[in-house]
Amino acid sequence: MPQDPDHPPAKRFKPGSPFFRLDKKPGMLLPRKGNASVPIDVQRKNLPIYQAKSQLINQLRQLHSAVLIGETGSGKTTQIPQYLYEAAIGRQGLVAVTQPRRVAAISLASRVAEEKKTQLGKLVGYTVRFEDVTSSETKLKFMTDGMLLREAIGDPLLLRYTVVVLDEAHERTVHTDVLFGVVKSAQRKRREQNKVPLKVIVMSATMDVDLFSQYFNKCPVLYLEGRQHPINIFYTKLPQSDYLQAALVSIFQIHQEAPASHDILVFMTGQEEIEALARTCRDIAKHLPDNCGPMMVIPLYASLPPAQQLRVFQPAPKGCRKVILSTNIAETSITISGIKFVIDTGMVKAKRFNPESGLEVLAVQRVSKAQAWQRAGRAGREASGSVYRLYTEEEFDNLLPMTVPEIQRCNLASVMLQLLALGIPDVMNFDFMSKPSPEAMRTALDQLDLLGAVEKKDEELVLTPLGKKMASFPLEPRYAKAILLSPDFQCSEEVLTIVSLLSVDTVLYNPPARREECLAARRKFTTSEGDHLTLLNIYRAFKKVNANKEWCRENFVNSRNMGMVGEVRSQLREICLKLSMKLESCGADTGRVRRCLAHGLFMNAAELQPDGSYTALDTHQSVAIHPSSVLFQGKPAYVVFNELLHTSKCYMRDLCLVDADWLVEAAPEYFRRKLRPTKS
Ligand code: CDP
Ligand code: MG
């Protein structure tokens, strides 16, 4: 495991050398021999974990709880479930393996099914939000942590499962943190009630696992012998003001100097910047001089369609270098072979939270030291490698040692709603591994109260009938509320569509090379009512032409994601029907839809100021309309928005025009306090 003192003294490099004359195109590409030629059974036996197999099985058979540590790529996630199955441990029920990310759950399930030589969905399956690929035969079930949490609402003792593997525990996502508590309590209650015991295996790629072991009654920690090769660490001489430019220069510097079979992994912060850099790299790579081979640039981020994600595992053709531009997803949850160079921008996009206001902001920020080491480690998986840190050694020294668990920096409204739905009596004293601040918990409960989801009964906080219904949707409380209120405004069909559109990856396709064409096509659907209604117009037009692919192409609409919207929508609709809701369409009267959205999103409202800027009504902080919004040019007096993104400014994304009256009507008490006196 990489630790500060064990690393070789850092060398220094300075990105910034200008590169290349642009002239020649790459020639024909031939496939390079990759891992694919090694039979899969042999690949399994070559994994570091294989050495410890029998020992592991013996220990896991005896233990109720265990923590397992091993370097990323040692085989924990793919092998442990199979070892348990082969040793008939917990065969009476299912083995659940939780993942923080849906992509990881899907790709791991596919891989394990392949290793087991069965069809996905039979012995090995997966369950992620809006998608369930399991059957009555399924014994090994990969799932997102959020899905297991959802199942716990109907089955708090998790009786279907005999083993729960909490994987990627070091990531400390909110859902994993809540699951720790839920699983621990299920385990204890099953013991007390003499039910089939529940085995809990916590898996982590980092060493700091004392907390996990403490929490699970001081359970043993099993270490897997790592296979980490030495890594050269390079820092920049000077702080970089533009990490993207620094990354670009570093990529081509390496590309110019290193053998083509040495792949590069670049850690960046998000989809937009990854796609932009990918385009730039491809453009430059088209015009490289003779002495430079071709380059295959592959983006990797969580919302990429699974089929495209699988591309990162495919070896590049011979003589061609693979350059993977990834979010922190490749830090631990996805292992890619062939990586010799890591470029670490030192940045990550993560949630930040203001506990007083309950407003959550996505912001690009510095990684922790633990994350930086994890990123560096990706370069030394198969042989020695190098990491280029696009920051100075001094900047590294000033990083936080550990990433703060998400539960301590996010809005807890969903968590609190789920805990209450699980029937946990005293949520403020829930057995969290790392307790969120009391203010953050209280703010979340206040928000649920504002949404009408909770009430006091005999001094105890419980869900209202509306709150219970809200918990039955796999959605954030505010969207669930909008759906539940939609019958009052006779616009359920529309609100269902909008929430579904917001639940999948964007249906808008924005190729930068055809920007003008794309804007012209989009103008047909744009409305001054805002982004939600513009999306609704696109969906309606899409339906009118019967999901015609040609239409999608002409209108820059991603037809695959549109297909997903349809699926999500019918699932949400089913939940509505189970709740006996009357589902109507408002037709052309879309004001109803906006009024309904105001009732769900009123806590994210902003008001135009005399100077043309906006102020968030909740925090009174200054916010701006994101340039991607259809309202960017306009100056509506009041808007509600989906989220805040903090980059150069604090931007509101996905906006909907609303009336001040609707906000007041949604939460009279709250707005009496928030709105400026002249407006009320
Ligand atoms: O969980 P851990 O990081 O210890 O390793 P793993 O996910 O079980 O991966 C072990 C190996 O399986 C990787 O090094 C890959 O070679 C392979 N694998 C794969 O080919 N495709 C996947 N979707 C997942 C793993
Ligand atoms: Mg793993």
Q: What is the pLDDT of residue 411?
A: 87
DSSP assignment letter at 523: H
Q: What is the pLDDT of residue 21?
A: 22
Q: Which atom of ligand 1 is nearest to the CA of 381?
A: 14
Mutate to test the pocket of ligand 1, among 1, 111, 171, 308 (most ligand atoms within 8 A of CB): 111
Q: Is 203 helix (H, G, I), strand (E, B) or coil?
A: strand
Q: What CA–CA distance (Å, rounded) separates 494 from 585?
A: 6
Residue closest by Cα to atom 14 of ligand 1: 73
pLDDT tens string 51-106: 899 999 999 999 999 999 988 888 999 999 999 999 999 889 999 999 998 888 99
Task: Please indicate whether residue 309, judged by its CB atom, sits closer than 6 Å to ligand 1.
Answer: no
Q: What is the pLDDT of residue 179?
A: 95
Rounded to two decimals, the ipTM of the complex is: 0.99
Task: Please indicate whether residue 335, judged by its CB atom, sits closer than 6 Å to ligand 1.
Answer: yes
Task: Please indicate whether residue 58, judged by its CB atom, sits closer than 6 Å to ligand 1.
Answer: no
CB neighbour list of residue 210: distance below 8 Å, 6 or more residues apart: none
Nearest to 324 by CA among 333, 332, 336: 336
Nearest to 351 by CA among 276, 428, 275, 403: 403
How many C-beta neighbours within 10 Å does residue 559 have?
17
- Compute the radius of gyration of the chain from its Cα atoms: 26
Mutate to test the pocket of ligand 1, among 50, 51, 78 (most ligand atoms within 8 A of CB): 78
Helix, strand, coil percentages, rounded to 5, for the chain: 45, 20, 35
**Which protein residues have a CB closer than 5 Å to ligand 2 (ion)?**
76-77
Ligand nearest to the CA of 47: 1
Task: Please indicate whether residue 77, judged by its CB atom, sits closer than 6 Å to ligand 1.
Answer: yes
pLDDT tens string 499-508: 999 988 788 8
Mutate to test the pocket of ligand 1, among 1, 103, 227, 335 (most ligand atoms within 8 A of CB): 335
How many C-beta neighbours within 10 Å does residue 357 have?
16
Question: Ligand 1 mean position to 79 CA, how many Å?
Answer: 9
Q: What CA–CA distance (Å, rounded) separates 120 from 126?
A: 8
Ligand nearest to the CA of 35: 1
Q: Lowest mean pLDDT: which of 332-336, 370-374, 460-464, 586-590? A: 332-336
Helix (H) or strand (E) holding 363: strand 359-366
Q: What is the pLDDT of residue 305?
A: 66
Task: Please indicate whether residue 74, judged by its CB atom, sits closer than 6 Å to ligand 1.
Answer: yes
Ligand nearest to the CA of 49: 1
Question: Ligand 2 mean position to 226 CA, how many Å?
Answer: 14
Question: Ligand 2 mean position to 61 CA, how many Å?
Answer: 20
Question: Ligand 2 mean position to 601 CA, how many Å?
Answer: 37
- Residue matched to tokens 């270490």: 223
Residue closest by Cα to atom 12 of ligand 1: 75
Q: What is the pLDDT of residue 111?
A: 94
Question: Ligand 1 mean position to 300 CA, how many Å?
Answer: 16
Ligand nearest to the CA of 103: 1
Q: What are the beta bridge partners of residue 344?
A: 267, 389
- Residue matched to tokens 């903090």: 646
Q: What CA–CA distance (Å, rounded) separates 335 from 111?
A: 12
Q: What is the pLDDT of residue 23?
A: 22
Q: What is the pLDDT of residue 207?
A: 73
Ligand nearest to the CA of 78: 1
Residue closest by Cα to atom 24 of ligand 1: 108
Written as one letter, the residue type at 621 is Q
pLDDT tens string 435-480: 999 999 999 999 999 999 999 998 889 999 999 999 999 899 999 9
How many C-beta neighbours within 10 Å does residue 648 have?
6
Question: Ligand 1 mean position to 655 CA, how many Å?
Answer: 41
pLDDT tens string 45-56: 989 899 899 999
pLDDT tens string 177-220: 999 999 999 999 999 999 999 999 999 987 778 899 999 999 99
Task: Please indicate whether residue 111, judged by its CB atom, sits closer than 6 Å to ligand 1.
Answer: yes
Task: Please indicate whether residue 75, judged by its CB atom, sits closer than 6 Å to ligand 1.
Answer: yes
Per-position DSSP letters for 302-352, written without gaps between them: TTS-HHHHGGGGSPPEET-EEEEEE-THHHHTS--TTEEEEEE-SEEEEEE
Written as one letter, the residue type at 447 is Q
Q: Is the pLDDT of residue 17 over 60?
A: no
CB neighbour list of residue 587: distance below 8 Å, 6 or more residues apart: none
Rounded (10°) angle between helices 243-257 and 271-286: 40
Q: Mean per-residue pLDDT for 148-172?
A: 94
Query: How wide is the angle at C-alpha 605 spanned by C-alphas 604 and 610, nearest 5°?
Result: 145
Q: Is the pLDDT of residue 491 over 90?
A: yes
Rounded (10°) angle between helices 76-86 and 102-115: 50
Task: Please indicate whether residue 313, judged by its CB atom, sits closer than 6 Å to ligand 1.
Answer: yes
Q: What is the pLDDT of residue 434?
A: 93
pLDDT tens string 105-142: 998 999 999 999 999 999 999 999 888 999 999 999 99
User: To the nearest whole percent, how much of the chain has pLDDT over 70?
Assistant: 92
